Structure 1
């Protein structure tokens, strides 16, 4: 009986806290389970807005890691992994905490989330721009531009389908953080590898965005036909 109650409580929390968006990323179940585990443990004085700020500060730490890695030793890049973890904590828990506490501000939170995500990507991209050498800074610019493209796609998809999703198939922001963390580790172990790995991820992001754009246009065309 106790186990059944716990399962029911877990399902109710998941339904309430994740009701505003559709997730398809490969780490969805593990991520949701972690969030549900953490939500009751968030101190009362920590608000969703404070968590958003904490997440942005995490991106600032990634930026600092690149700066320190540029002017001191690249071992400081490992500091960026901590920054990514902090960013995930703030970015993943802020809106979920609002729904968990039954104080959601749907459109305010939606706007704040997009803005904070964009600031975080700019900080990460600018940090890599400072770290990059020999003309490879263009990769940092392309990464920020293509990530911005993916954000635009998610907003347009929301407008057309009325279903909010921040993932591109099996890949979402959480998976991207893991990939960036792996790139930082490999750069510390094999100096110079970041240029090739970041270039590969940027090209992959371009391909994903292109595919998502074509799907989006088909959805828009279908909606136009249904409305005529």
Structure 2
């Protein structure tokens, strides 16, 4: 099967708008046929979860051993991306997809991973900056809720907020961690900026979601009135 056909098959169920979507999809299309048969989609989910544990461990080691252990989180984010991005795609490729099982598992693991990252930051940082860990997790949770509501209203699943998606967020956080190793203390201000950006992105996405919901309400009401009108006609 050609790479173009593989790419079309793997991503037909979702719309991507993030900056790195094209190279990311090409890379995933390259990797999927090369994953050994003994590695299942659930196995890949487990690999992604292991990456999340590495991220949490890196914060703890950076706090109690050496700041350079923050670089372990960069590897953890790659492993997390690998498992999270390929688990559903491998199921589609092998014609073993379980739509609602996979959807539910994906959401739960994304939330657990986000909590781990926020918890790791809370362990690592000091003073009032610890509240930013809670804020970051809450804002990401808000974004997840928007994504699920959008899916419920439009029946189209998208995990991106405009040009930013989970992959871009991972890259940004990795850059923040590398900067923290070079300039200790910078992570607090970087996380603050991320929280501010996520807040305004969520506000904009919420407004768009409400507009879509209002439009669907009007369409359903018009369809109901039309149906009632047709039934009343002799």
User: Same-fold call, TM > 0.5?
Assistant: yes
Larger Rg: 2
Give the match for residue 15 of structure 1: 8
Listed as ranges, the gaps of 5+ residues in structure 1 are 1-5
Listed as ranges, the gaps of 5+ residues in structure 2 are 222-234
Matched, 1:112 2:118: no
Give the match for residue 160 of structure 2: 167
C-alpha separation in 2, matches of 1:57 and 1:207: 31
C-alpha separation in 2, matches of 1:58 and 1:134: 27
Give the match for residue 230 of structure 2: none
Give the match for residue 192 of structure 1: 185
SS in 2 for 1:135: helix
Give the match for residue 146 of structure 2: 153
C-alpha separation in 1, matches of 2:42 and 2:209: 31
Give TM-score scaled by structure 2 length.
Answer: 0.93
C-alpha separation in 1, matches of 2:193 and 2:111: 21
- C-alpha displacement at 1:133, in angstroms? 0.5
C-alpha separation in 2, matches of 1:112 and 1:141: 23
Give the match for residue 27 of structure 1: 20
Correspondence 1:101-140 to 2 at 5 A: 101-140=94-133
Conserved? CA contact 2:3–2:30, under 8 Å: no
Give TM-score scaled by structure 1 length.
Answer: 0.96
Residue correspondences, number:
221
SS in 1 for 2:128: coil
Conserved? CA contact 2:61–2:67, under 8 Å: yes
Matched, 1:56 2:27: no
C-alpha separation in 2, matches of 1:83 and 1:32: 20
Runs of 4 or more, structure 1, over 6 Å off, are none
Find the partner of 2:209 among 216, 219, 222.
216
Deviations 1:58-108 (A, max 9, x none): 011000000000111110000000000000000000000000111111110
Cα RMSD of the aligned pairs, angstroms, is: 0.8
